[in-house]
Amino acid sequence: QTQTQTQEQEQEQEEEKTLLVRELPIENADCPFDDGHDKLDTTGLGIWSASIVMARWMADKSILGRFDGKNVLELGAGCGVPGLVVGLYSTAKHVYVTDYNPVTMDNLQYNIDMNANRPYTKSPKGSGEGEWVERVKAISIDWNDETTWPQEKMDYVIGSDLIYQKSIVPLLWKVVKGLIKDDGIFLYTCPSDGRDGLQEFIDSVKNEGFYCYSQEVAPDLYRSNPLSNGDADQAFLHFYELPVTEYKLYEFRKRKTNN
């Protein structure tokens, strides 16, 4: 009976896990993109709806166990919601949340620190798991400068809503290929339409040595109110696109080459 109670308590705690995330006002909101100067891109200061959908996908029991003991890196993490969820809900060996804008990086670190020392981010003694601050790291990556990329290859690279213009597609593939293991997997979430360059990205998969293992429409649950207090007005204010937009979940895998 005691063991059953403990299991029930653990299950309740698992279901009650919440992530604390701070977003900041996006500077130059009318034109937050870098316009050729990567460090001026302020889009990462806010939480975008696609990142919430991605985070819920990462926390889904159908995929969550795949990260255990693996190295996971989030590209263009912004506030870090999906990557931090991987760290919170899985026993991934390392989770790297990456971006480039200095203010965005400071906020990423703030969000990591804010979730440290909470009951479910502290590893039980003898569990073999590293502490939150050892497992989850914010690192600055310049997609154009390979010397800023981690030397260790990743089992999983994840990203949400990274493509907003055709010109970024070749660079995104270059980064993904440079970061991922030979048997690695790229998970990507974005709106089904309305993103310039998305179709070019999909069309280029084969030429880049990958294939689309799966693509599906995100379940309605992924688009529900993400706020722990359930405040519908606040949810609409911050994430008005979330309930009315269709999102796609993509899994890309590397093609095996014959030696």
Tell me how far CA of residue 25 lies from CA of 3, 39, 74, in angstroms.
Answer: 47, 16, 22
pLDDT per position as a tens digit, 176-197: 999 999 999 999 999 999 899 9
pLDDT at 120: 80
In this model, does residue 3 exceed pLDDT 50?
A: no
For residue 41, the model assigns a pLDDT of 74
pLDDT of residue 131: 85
pLDDT at 129: 53
Q: Give the predicted TM-score (pTM) of the model.
A: 0.88
- Which residue did the predictor score with more confidence, 104 or 133? 104
- Over range 203-217, report the average pLDDT: 94
Which tokens belong to 137? 């790291």
Residue 227's pLDDT is 94
Contact 205, 179 (CB under 8 A): no
Q: In the predicted model, what is the mean pLDDT of residues 119-147?
A: 80
Contact indicator for 51, 82 with CB cutoff of 8 Å:
yes
Are the CB atoms for 209 and 177 separated by under 8 Å? yes
How far from 27 is each of 13, 67, 168, 173, 257, CA to CA, in Å? 37, 34, 22, 28, 45
The mean pLDDT of the chain is 87
Q: How far apart are CA 204 and CA 10, in angstroms?
A: 44
Q: Is the pLDDT of residue 71 over 70?
A: yes
Nearest Cα neighbor of 54 from 136, 157, 155, 160 is: 160
- Cα–Cα nearest to 58, from 31, 100, 93, 92: 92
| Predicted pLDDT at 5 | 43
Among candidate residues 58, 56, 52, 57, the one with its CA nearest the CA of residue 79:
52
Which residues are registered as beta bridge partners of 4? none
- At residue 32, the pLDDT reads 47
Identify the pLDDT of residue 118.
87
